Structure 1
Amino acid sequence: MHGGLAGELALAGGIPVLEAQPPVSWPRTTDADRAAVQSVLDSNLFVSDRTGGRTAVEQLERSWADHLGVRRCVGVSNGTTAIELALLAHGIRPGDEVVVPALTFVGTAMAVVHVGAVPVYADVDPVTFALSADSLRERITPRTRAVVPVHLHGLSADMPVLDAVARHHGLVVIEDAAQAHGARHLGTPCGATGNTATFSLQMTKNLPTCGEGGLVVTDDDAIADRIVQLRQFGETIRPDRPRRYVSHRLGFNAKLNNIQAAYTSSQLERFPDYHKARRENVAAFLDRLSGVDGLTCPTEPEGHEHAWHILRFVVDFDRLLPGVPVAGARSLLLRALRAEGLPATRYQMMPLPDQPALRPLVRQPDPSCPVTQDVIDRSFTVQQRHLPPDAGPLLQSFADVIEKVFSHRRTLARLAEGGAQ
């Protein structure tokens, strides 16, 4: 018997499982990471537009391409910019429609808007939370030029099916793998499907940098060369000649710097071990919760290897708090979990087309996505604290919290009736 079931809920005056919510301890910076960064500081070679030797950015690009088994990788300033440059490199133009899932980080849709294209929102699968092929088919019009599937939370979308739909309609596929470093589907790593794919290196990601960064991977040399130009004012910079300051296309200043790249390259050396430990820790955590009534744990469907970047739990509030409106029940549950020391969050607050910044730009007749709305309404997430390789004991304490809260349904119902604040 674990300790999570003992005692009254902290929200009702009991002793919490954890005295305080644990601090974020990710990324883990080691002496090897510090040495890698110091080597760049000592070299005085900070940016990737210099000639005369292989830079840390080039080293990271080659290492990540080799890790995935793809031809090319291009380092850029962040994951959102990676999507923007990939869209532009594939010829997406103002007015083109690009289908994106309604359940994802807002940057996916903003990247489409930033290149002048029109985001069209499709619904997601209720199990994988990834783009639904059926919804994609419904959203395709004569103006549709591309689709951006998102491997949300570290679980691959069903790319064979989505690719088949895209090929049938002649659509460009750009995979948003910002959260999916290490994920696989049918043995293929996310990013190595033959499509162009983008990754984020933001410090919260499974493969982080010391700040912001992004990578674009592709087997198409022409696409990679365009992105290299686009990240550097449209210039072509070669190591065998001085920079000419000639812009061949309208580009951006969207480079990854050498300090960021060196840090990530050092992290990449430990990445396989971290990935393995995370999968073991999360598996043990979810095994503890598999029998909790009214709770649907994140899953790893057959053929998938989850990267477990974010853990999303879906709650059957009709079983947990029958008769209580979902919004109030969800708020009460989150307060109860946090009071016990589990830093539960909602993450996405609304489907993308309902975001205030995007709502005025919605052009499709019916942007409603009922599965997305249902998932957002009935779920909570656990983020970051489970990423370190030694997070196993903490996850077991989180299991204690969830077991305790879900076992005190009468107390939750009493608090709901009394309007707990």
Structure 2
Amino acid sequence: MSAVRGAALGELAAFGGAPAVPAGLRTLPWPVVTDADRAAVAGVLDEGPLVSNADGPTAVSALEERWRALCAARHCVATSNGTTALALALFALGIGPGDEVIVPALSFVASGLAPLHQLAVPVFADIDPVSFTLDPAAAAAAVTPRTAALLAVHLHGQPADMDALRAIADRHGLAVIEDAAQAVGALWRGRPVGSLGDAAAFSLQVTKNVPTCGEGGLLTFADEQAAHRAVMARQFGEVMEAGRPRDYISHLLGWNHKMNPVQAAFALSQLDRFADYEAARQHNVADFLARIDGLPGLLPPSAAPGSTHAWHILRFRLDPAAAGLDGVDPAGMRRAVHRLLRAEGVPVSRYQVTTLPRQRVFTDREGFGRGLPWSLGQPPPEPPVPVAEAVVADSLTLQKRHLHPDAGLALRSYAEGFAKVWRHLDVVRNMALRSGR
């Protein structure tokens, strides 16, 4: 039975009624930290080594091999976080000063910052209105003679259309980098993300589906030479080989982007439970989405045909016309629904409040000073991104709570909160119209 038919009318909590979601279900712990995780960390603290550049196996090298196998990739390199992973991917593939990198207009800001770190220019292209990933047609239109790479962001855990993007890249001789920070475990045409481009960057930040105890990143590569450049660059440009004393000679531009073994040990322990957690998440999210299916004007997230969604973040678009709210604009409906759902205890949020092209770091074009890297050549035109703008205006997200393997009960209560608000669309209309005056 749908949530619309099964939910009692109730009095809206925003106006004095009892909330649909009990207080204890509004926040679920993430990550789930177990005795096994604590023992893994303690093992490194007790026995070492405490750095990843030790002469011999470490928890970091073990994580690299485990991740390489998980992604069906040829090579894996651990880094300090997902942002440094993106920057190292670009560096290892030879993306540098004055090059252009096509980036989707809706993403976490690191997707646009990574090219800047290499003195390359991010060129923002519009997104697909359903998958929220880079629109291949928009990407193709943004290609210029200076374009060197496409950054395919698997936003919220939904793989981008890698077939179409790969075809564009092959036609123009471009590198393809996957920003898979939110998408571990997702599949495209049966293949795992991390094995679909020339390189892929992952994040192990504590909010991610596979977390570490703080920060961490991983890179996968198809090419051995590119992987070797990334290994050198993360350690000051040095050549580090087992059995060979460190000579402190920098052969190329490098940074200090290493992961430490404590973080790696925690992530390895989390990986032991990842398959079970992922199965529970797929079941719980599918049940939740089924319960809110059919609510007029609510467009819930879905997996694109031929893909498996990792459900890192759930984004809901709102359509006032489909909800029968004549005269209400999408942003007004979003504001009203946001207030009413939060009152019911449903922990929705906006997450991104602007598109990447509107971020000050990109509009001001200060960069490294004197307008670098844009001043290295003729700045590319700024294509319109109406879909990304619309998505920011008309959508709400659910984060973290659904990652817990026992989130089923909480998600059922969230569905009841959605249904309760939708039984009062007249209130939504009135609030939306007042907010627009």
TM-score by length of 2: 0.93
Which residues of 2 match residues 264-303 of structure 1 at below 5 A?
264-303=267-306
1:59 aligns with 2:59: no
Displacement, 1:326?
3.1
What does the per-residue CA deviation read over 1:48-83, in whole Å, with 9 as the maximum and x for residues that have no partner? 1121x2000000000111112222110001101101
Give the AA of the match of 1:29: V
1:126 aligns with 2:129: yes
Displacement, 1:318?
2.8
Residue 55 and residue 101 in structure 1: after superposition, are their counterparts in 2 closer, same or farther (change >3 A)?
A: same
Distance 1:374 1:303 in 2: 26
Equivalence for 1:353: 357
Residue 407 and residue 110 in structure 1: after superposition, are their counterparts in 2 closer, same or farther (change >3 A)?
A: same
1:258 aligns with 2:261: yes
Displacement, 1:4?
4.2
Which residues of 2 match residues 388-403 of structure 1 at below 5 A?
388-403=404-419
Equivalence for 2:371: none
Equivalence for 1:415: 431
Give the AA of the match of 1:324: V
Between stretches 376-385 and 326-335, larger displacement belongs to 326-335
Structure 2, gaps ≥5 residues long: 366-373
Give the AA of the match of 1:343: P
Distance 2:428 2:161 in 1: 38
Residue 418 and residue 223 in structure 1: after superposition, are their counterparts in 2 closer, same or farther (change >3 A)?
A: closer
Distance 1:415 1:250 in 2: 56
Structure 2 residue aligned with 1:343, among 340, 343, 347?
Answer: 347
Aligned partners of 2:9 and 2:423 also within 8 Å: no
Residue 94 and residue 281 in structure 1: after superposition, are their counterparts in 2 closer, same or farther (change >3 A)?
A: same
Displacement, 1:85?
0.5
Give the AA of the match of 2:402: H
Residue 156 and residue 416 in structure 1: after superposition, are their counterparts in 2 closer, same or farther (change >3 A)?
A: closer
Give the AA of the match of 2:412: Q
Equivalence for 2:17: 14
Equivalence for 1:371: 387
Displacement, 1:5?
3.4
Give the AA of the match of 1:412: V
SS in 1 for 2:314: strand
Aligned partners of 1:4 and 1:402 also within 8 Å: no
1:304 aligns with 2:307: yes
Give the AA of the match of 2:160: A
Equivalence for 2:191: 188
1:328 aligns with 2:349: no
Give the AA of the match of 2:421: V
Distance 1:29 1:66 in 2: 24
SS in 2 for 1:5: coil
Displacement, 1:406?
1.3
Displacement, 1:201?
0.4
What does the per-residue CA deviation read over 1:180-229, in whole Å, with 9 as the maximum and x for residues that have no partner? 00000110001112521110000111111010110000121111110001
What does the per-residue CA deviation read over 1:320-357, in whole Å, with 9 as the maximum and x for residues that have no partner? 43323333321121111101001111111111000112
1:85 aligns with 2:101: no
Distance 2:225 2:62 in 1: 20
Between stretches 411-420 and 73-82, larger displacement belongs to 411-420
Displacement, 1:19?
4.0
Give the AA of the match of 1:340: E
Aligned residues: 420
SS in 1 for 2:401: coil
Displacement, 1:137?
0.8
Distance 1:146 1:194 in 2: 11
Residue 192 and residue 240 in structure 1: after superposition, are their counterparts in 2 closer, same or farther (change >3 A)?
A: same
Distance 1:219 1:402 in 2: 44
Aligned partners of 1:4 and 1:17 also within 8 Å: no
1:42 aligns with 2:46: yes
Which residues of 2 match residues 219-234 of structure 1 at below 5 A?
219-234=222-237
Equivalence for 1:380: 396
Equivalence for 1:242: 245
Aligned partners of 1:79 and 1:198 also within 8 Å: yes
Structure 2 residue aligned with 1:152, among 152, 155, 169?
Answer: 155
Give the AA of the match of 1:187: G
Equivalence for 2:215: 212
Aligned partners of 1:353 and 1:367 also within 8 Å: no
Residue 131 and residue 415 in structure 1: after superposition, are their counterparts in 2 closer, same or farther (change >3 A)?
A: closer
What does the per-residue CA deviation read over 1:106-165, in whole Å, with 9 as the maximum and x for residues that have no partner? 100001111100000011111111111100110000010111010011011111111011
Equivalence for 2:369: none
Structure 2 residue aligned with 1:116, among 115, 119, 123?
Answer: 119
CA RMSD of aligned residues (A): 1.7
Structure 2 residue aligned with 1:99, among 102, 111, 131?
Answer: 102
